[in-house]
Structure formats: structure tokens, C-alpha cells
Amino acid sequence: MRKRDFLPYATKRILIFLHDLAWVPICISFSYWLRFNFAAIPALRSAGLVELMLVAVVINGLMFWLFGCYRGIWRFASIPDLLRLIKAVAAGDIGTILVCFMIGRLEGIPRSVLVLYPILLVGALASARIAYRVVRDQGLKFDFEQGTRVLLVGAGHAGEMLVRDIEHHGQFSPVAFVDDDPQKQGHEVRGIRVCGTIEDLPRLLEELDIQMVLATMPSAPLNVLERMVRVCAERGIKCRTLPSLSELADGRIEVARLRTVTVEDLLGRDPVELDQQSVVSFLSGKRVLVTGGGGSIGSELCRQISRHNPDLLIVLDSCEYNLYRIDQALNTHGKPLVFNSMLGDVRDEYTIESLFARVKPHVVFHAAAYKHVPMVEDNVIEGVRNNVFGTRTVADAALRHGAEKFVLISTDKTVNPTNIMGTTKRVAEIYCQALGYSNGTQFVTTRFGNVLASAGSVVPLFERQIAAGGPVTVTHPEITRYFMTIPEAASLILQAGAIGKGGEILVLDMGKPVLIRELAEKMIMLSGLQPSRDIQIAYTGLRPGEKMHEELFYEKEELQGTTHPKLLLANSIPAELATVRKGLDMLSKAVEKSDVDGVRALLKSLVPEFNPTFLHEQEMKKSASLRLVKT
């Protein structure tokens, strides 16, 4: 809580000025007493004393203002303020000597006083400011309110800067540091002692009556964050962290930037470093179309594209609300951005043709898709219409109207698919790869796994279930998925678009697969609760079309490195375009007749690896005995 200011700023400056002026005659008097060994001042010297006081008060007061001694704030007094005081007092002393010399040739004024009084004056003025800052910074508050007792994890440079900022607020009261560096044990950082390592955290929380824990390390090690979150959750203590280094682009460490620990922090993914020059060359001055631009990935693509100076950004989405949200976000963009928000469906050939004829985009990012596995499993015809023929409609329009590059955003569920959603996206991959480099248009496919916190993903579902008191539902104890953050996925899609030459499938490096059970446990702990004790985890069995473990590439796709360390090239031989088009024509007729069985059979012919029976016969058996078993 901030302290209330009882006096206006101008009034404070006047009072500080009068305070400084009062020290001038005091320091002169004390200089005389020192000169005469604290004995009575001789009568012959009294006239010189009065003359010196009057001149020094006027001259020094003028110098205090001229040298800006009242621009700073006492609570934040620092070395520059001290230097300013020294300059002002030195100039005041010289001015005083000159004026007194002109008035009476310095008669009756001891020369030693002219040296002593400016030294005493600097000491007095600086001491007053330092004392005030110490009183304020050490928490001696006039309203007797104490801040939240906090323990800081990490006694490095960021920790020191955070404590420095905490000192200027009444919100927190730093009690101790913990740090795993042996050389820091027992030492102090701005008066706060390093009392142990991260392993001592449970003991210190109890002994020191800690109310909150702050991780003062940007991009803190995963094991440290996990330990901190677990210990705090067990005791019902809140914890906060500084943003990662990538988020702290300006390097400022301050209380206002503390935030709650997120599941992204606990997954420990390294920040993505883009080849900015290639992305700028790819997008700057271009007309860029993003289909599905209101969705989780599409909207983040739009935000990142807007930073690379496109000539025009066109956002297409069939959902009015999603389009409204990204429209509002782009309207508040920091610099002028030319963009159009368009309601439309990628399955509507007239809408797409009209758009391309009018805008003629240079670059197309095709993010529009149905991606929820169980939903598409129950709506086969609509899934095929959107994911297969929506892609074909946009890709063909890009080809007809001379787009430079078409980037298809795909999924890991296309590899050995066991569901309709993955199979439809695989057909879209096959078509775009067959188009390859056609009539000047480069068709590039990007493939990656699940995106944290995207619409329909498991993270928002777990958040709702935790808020409702549980249980958190996981389909199988051993089920795993690949995860990356939305900004990371969008950044790598842009990078893939920049380096792709046509016909490639670029696989995003997803790191290690994550156990969904462990993800649920971490999210429960982030809520300040304990798995099994406060929130139960229930295993419900695999759903239709769901795999235990996703794959990022086929065995026949030999992965090769690219110019970016987080992008891999899945080498495979494209299908003949004429063959693919013939298969799509047959699939289109089956869709028009709403022949679900026929559609499934044709999908199987287009994607021989499509094997829904594998899931039913193998994995459903494994999960049957685990249904509704709670940890």
C-alpha cells in the first residue's frame, strides 16, 4: 500500500529549501566554535560572523536552486544528488568569499572558517537526506502498516534490483534470500541475508512466517520453480516470479512485473530466437492473408505479422466474435497498421475467389481448420469440407492469383492418424506438398503438436475443472502429448514460411513429450492446491480417435536440419498431383451425398496409414480397466 502524501509537492520543495538554508548559519557557527576550540567567540570576530552568515545564506540559497538540488526526491537520494550538493556548496563558498572580500576584505573572518563550513554543510545536507532514505527504506512507516513478508529465491543481480524496487513500495517486506550458490550463503544483499538453499525453503517458510515467495531469477531453472511451487502449494503460500529474459526485453526489474507462475514456466521450454532479417524480408511491404485469423494460432500470427511492417494484413474468420477480438487487438497496435477484418468461410469458393481477386495477397497463412478430435469424429462430413476442401479452395485461389507463398498450418495428428481430424489434415498436407512449387507459388507445410492454452486445448479444460473443485479428468495415466506455447508456435510458423522453398513439410521441434497426468498435477499445484488431497485426478479412458502417444513424422520421412535449429525438414516423396486431384474429386462427390462410410473409405485410400481400428482394438483395451480410477 502506498503512503499518502499529506503535503503538495511544491510545499515540500519550499520546506526542504528552508531546511537547507537553516544549516548554513548552523554550520558557520559550528566552524567558528571549532576555530576557537569551542570557547566563546571574541567580540572582534562577531561582526565578521554576522556578515558571513548573511552573505552565505543568500549566496548558498541561490546556488542550491541554480544547481537543481531540489529536482531529486529525498527517498531516492543517490550519488548524482550528492555530487550536485557538493557543486552547489563549493560554488556557494567561492561566491561567498568573493562577496565578503568586496564588502570588507574578509576582515574579522578566519580563513579556516571558509574551509570548514562548506565541508560541514555538505556533511549535514547529505546526512539529512541519507537518514530520511534509511528511515523510509527500512520500513519505519508512520501508518504502522507492514508489507507482505516475502522470501526471495535467487540472490543475484535481478534479486538485488528487485529488492531495490521493493524498498520504494510498501507492498512487500523482504525477510530473507535463498540461493544454491555456496559462496553467497550467510552474506547479505541490500541488508537481506541469504539464509540457505532452495532445499531449506520448507524450514524457512515456517521459521520466518513467510506469506509469499518470489522467484527473482528471469528464466529460473525448471527444478527450482517446481520445488518452489510444490513447497508453496503444500503450505498454501502464494508464489510469484519475474518474467523470462525474452519478456524482459528492456531489462527493467521491478515489482510491477512480478506475475504468477504459469504452466508454461513449468514446462521449461527454451525461448525461440528468430532469424529476424529473413522474417522481415519475407513479410515487410507484403499483402498478407491469415485464414482462421481469429483463432488461437491465427490471432497470434496476426499480432506477430503486424510487427514486421506488412503493406496490408487481411484477417479472415468465420466466427464473428473471434474476428471482433483480433480486430480490437490490432486496432490498439502501437504503430499504424493497415488491415482488414473479413467475415467469411474458407469453404465458400465465391467468397475466397472474390477476396483473392480484390486483394491479391503475396503471402497466405492457412490456419482455418476444425481441430477438436472428438468433435470432428462425430461430424465427419463437416470436418472433411472444412479441413480438406477449405484448404483446397484457398490453395487453388492462391495459385490462380499468383501468391508468392502459401503456408499450411498442420498438426502432429496427421502422422499415422487414428482419427478423422488427423486424416483430413494429412490429406491437406498431401495436396499442398503435391502442389509444391507451382506457377511461382511456393507451398510450405508446418507441422507441430499441441499448443498450450489454445481454444479447446486441455489447459483451459483443466483450469475450469480445478476452479470447480475437481476432479481433473485425464484419459489415461501414461498418455503423452507434445506442447509449445502459442507465441512460440506462431514465431516458428513465420520462420518456416521465410525459409521454405516449396513442397516441404517443416516439423517444429517440440522438445520432449509431456505426461498429461504430470501436466494436471502441476496445474493443480499452481492453483495453490495439492493433487489427490485437494483436487482428485480421474482417469476416464481414451476417447474415439485418440492415441496414447503422438508422432511428429513418419518413419519414411527422414528428418534433416534447416537453417533454424528448431525447424526440421521431413523428407518425403510428394504424391502425383493428378492422382491427388482425382482422389479429391471422388471424395467431394461422397461428401455431397453425405456418404459417411464412403468418405471414410476414400480417406483411407488417400491416407493408407489411417487406421482407426488400431485404436479400438489395442488402446481401448488398455484403458478399459483404468476408467474412473482416481489417484
Query: Which pLDDT tens digit goes with each residue over 496-550?
Result: 899 888 888 888 777 778 888 888 888 888 777 888 888 899 998 887 777 787 7
What's the pLDDT score for residue 511?
74
| 403, 444 contact by CB (below 8 A) | no
Q: Give me the DSSP letters along 373-440.
A: HHHHHH-HHHHHIIIIIHHHHHHHHHHHTT-SEEEEE--GGGSS--SHHHHHHHHHHHHHHHHSEETT
Q: Which residue out of 184, 371, 405, 413 is catalytically annotated?
A: 413
Per DSSP (E only), the strands in 476-578 are 480-481, 483-484, 505-508, 514-515, 537-539, 558-561, 567-571
For the stretch 174-198, pLDDT in tens is 888 888 888 888 887 877 888 888 8
Nearest to 394 by CA among 437, 363, 434: 363
Looking at 157-166, 216-225, 391-400, 600-609, which range is the least confident one?
216-225
Q: Average pLDDT of the chain?
A: 82
Q: Which domains does the chain have, with CATH numbers?
A: 9-137 (no CATH), 148-261 (3.40.50.720), 276-624 (3.40.50.720)
Q: Give me the DSSP letters along 34-95.
A: HHTTTSPPPHHHHHHHHHHHHHHHHHHHHHHHHTTTTSS-GGG--HHHHHHHHHHHHHHHHH
pLDDT surpassing 70 at residue 372:
yes
Backbone φ/ψ region at 196: left (φ over 0), alpha (ψ -120 to 50), beta: left
Angle at alpha carbon of residue 174, lines to 173 and 179, rounded to 5°: 165
What's the pLDDT score for residue 170?
66
Distance CA 52, CA 130 (A): 28
pTM: 0.66
Q: Residue 476 burial by CB count (10 A; 0-12/13-18/19+): exposed, middle or buried?
A: buried
What's the pLDDT score for residue 398?
95
Distance CA 159, CA 253 (A): 9
What's the pLDDT score for residue 603?
94
pLDDT tier, 4 (very low <50, low <70, confident <90, very high otherwise): very low
Nearest to 484 by CA among 455, 515, 508, 517: 508
Is 589 one of the catalytic residues? no
pLDDT tier, 618 (very low <50, low <70, confident <90, very high otherwise): very low
